[in-house]
Amino acid sequence: MAELQGFFLFCREDSAQALEMARAWREADQQVLQEIQLKQQQKHMLQQQQQQQQQQQQQKGVNQQQQQQQQQQQQEEQKRTTETS
């Protein structure tokens, strides 16, 4: 607040300069906000990628377990058929 008061005291006689400085501040603020938003978007995208990778790894593990179970079942069936023959 004191900074703004000082700014207005400094520029009260030159309104054009005050407007120009205020525009520059606003543009700088907008640029900072855009950078923050971009960083947040990048962070969000990275989190999504990590989640997808985790899901893919989990799915691979599930698929491997299913394959192993199927192989065991097939082996057991083969043993049964050879024992009964």
Asked whether the beta carbons of 19 and 26 are under 8 A apart, the reply is no
Q: What tokens does 50 get?
A: 């990590």
- Work out whether the CA dihedral 46, 50, 55, 56 comes out positive or negative: positive
The length of the chain is 85
DSSP state for residue 85 in the 8-state scheme: -
Question: For the segment 32-85, what is each residue's pLDDT rounded down to a tens digit?
Answer: 999 999 999 999 999 999 999 999 999 988 889 989 999 999 888 888 888 776
- pLDDT of 28 > 60? The answer is yes
